[in-house]
Amino acid sequence: MFLSQCQAVVVGADTVLANGDVINKAGTALLAWAARGHKVPFYVLCETLKISSRTWSGDLAQLEEKEAGEVMEEPIEGVTTRNFYFDLTVSRLITSIITERGPMGRREIKQLLSSY
């Protein structure tokens, strides 16, 4: 990867949870961890309408899952294949969430949700 040459990583979000965690396409969390390892800021861009008052329970059933055959043509004995379309990026890996109202962190998200 070229992260060592990057000034920042910028991704979108499908959902921003009340605690600042982000649900986005599979691979986003891995990219956030890699950015952290290279000391590269990690930004999320989204509209405030994607901010949810919900939090994640840790239950993988909350993440959309598709057929394993999409990623494995032939099953491998003793191996369970999961095909998640989304993952969860924890807020501590996110430098800031940039919205039409400006940059937001956990505090600003809490304030926004309390105004609804």
Active site residues: 14
Neighbouring C-beta atoms of residue 66, cutoff 10 Å: 11
The encoded tokens of residue 2 equal 């070229």
Residues 36, 52: Cα–Cα separation, whole Å = 25
Of how many residues is the chain composed?
Answer: 116
For 84, phi then psi, to 5°, come to -85, 135
